[in-house]
């Protein structure tokens, strides 16, 4: 498995809780897989998103865990400029809840077809004006609760191809997997396709 990246520094306090997460010198086309527990993932995600946005990135946050309104509310509390973020609300689609009509919310059908998700991502990325862009997947492993493993693998392969070709833009992919599932074969297969694996 890949070594943890040298361009990511993760500080922990004496009791093991997170104190900060700093991204620096992300290379064009970086793909980063983070392994961590469910109880820490959102704070860590938001800390990364804030630093990316503060550094001039525009990006997509694909939320499989929380509905749009909850995500945006928490981002705003942390001082994240949501003008440069679009949220694909997969969580509401999974639970068949009404999706927000906010202009920064990208709604998708409750069937959550992978092809529709891919098209939505392409559309959003093409509308961004910044050369620095990111796609952040809050929980790749959550997809497997609702979709066949083959669809999860197809989605991950699409993401990797998109990042690799990137058309000259500094496009970065960051996605989470649950640490208790990290030894599953399909996660290990994905890990070999990424540039960095970070265990938090």
74-113 confidence digits (pLDDT tens): 999 999 999 999 999 988 887 777 778 899 998 887 777 7
- Expressed as residue numbers, the domain containing 80 is 25-199
In the prediction, which pLDDT does 182 show?
59
129 assigned to some structural domain? yes
4 assigned to some structural domain? no
1 assigned to some structural domain? no
Q: What is the CATH number of the domain that holds 34?
A: 3.40.50.300
The DSSP bridge partners found for residue 23 are 8
72 assigned to some structural domain? yes
CB contact set of 177 (below 8 Å; sequence gap of 6+): 33, 34, 35, 139, 140, 141, 187, 190
In the prediction, which pLDDT does 22 show?
41
The DSSP bridge partners found for residue 21 are 10
Helices assigned H by DSSP within 112-176:
114-127, 140-143, 149-165
Mapping DSSP to helix (H, G, I), strand (E, B) and coil, where does residue 122 land?
Answer: helix
In the prediction, which pLDDT does 20 show?
40
Of the two residues 140 and 27, the one the predictor is more confident about is 140
Instruction: Please state, rounded to an integer, the average pLDDT across all residues of the chain.
Output: 77
183 assigned to some structural domain? yes
Side-chain half-sphere CA neighbours of 24 within 13 A: 6
Of the segments 26-30, 41-45, 56-60, 179-183, which one has the largest average pLDDT value?
A: 56-60
Q: Number of folded domains in the chain? A: 1
118 assigned to some structural domain? yes
124-182 per-position pLDDT tens digit: 988 999 988 999 999 888 888 777 888 888 888 888 887 777 666 778 888 888 777 65
94 assigned to some structural domain? yes
195 assigned to some structural domain? yes
End-to-end CA gap in the chain:
15
pTM of the model: 0.82
């Amino acid at each position: 498995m890949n070594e943890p990246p040298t361009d990511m520094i993760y500080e922990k306090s004496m009791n093991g809780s997170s104190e900060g997460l700093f991204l620096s010198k992300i290379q064009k086309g970086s793909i980063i897989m983070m392994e961590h527990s469910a109880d820490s993932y959102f704070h860590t995600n938001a800390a990364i998103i804030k630093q990316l946005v503060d550094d001039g990135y525009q990006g997509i946050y694909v939320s499989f865990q929380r509905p749009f309104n909850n995500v945006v509310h928490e981002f705003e509390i942390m001082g994240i400029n949501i003008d440069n973020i679009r949220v694909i609300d997969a969580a509401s689609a999974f639970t068949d809840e009404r999706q927000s009509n906010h202009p920064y919310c990208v709604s998708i059908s409750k069937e959550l077809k992978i092809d529709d998700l891919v098209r939505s991502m392409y559309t959003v990325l093409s509308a961004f004006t910044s050369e620095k862009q990111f796609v952040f997947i809050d929980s790749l492993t959550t997809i497997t609760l609702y979709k066949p493993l083959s669809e999860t693998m197809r989605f991950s392969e699409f993401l990797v191809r998109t990042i690799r070709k990137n058309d000259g833009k500094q496009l970065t992919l960051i996605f989470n997997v649950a640490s208790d599932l990290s030894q599953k074969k399909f996660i290990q297969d994905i890990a070999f396709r990424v540039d960095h694996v970070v265990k938090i």
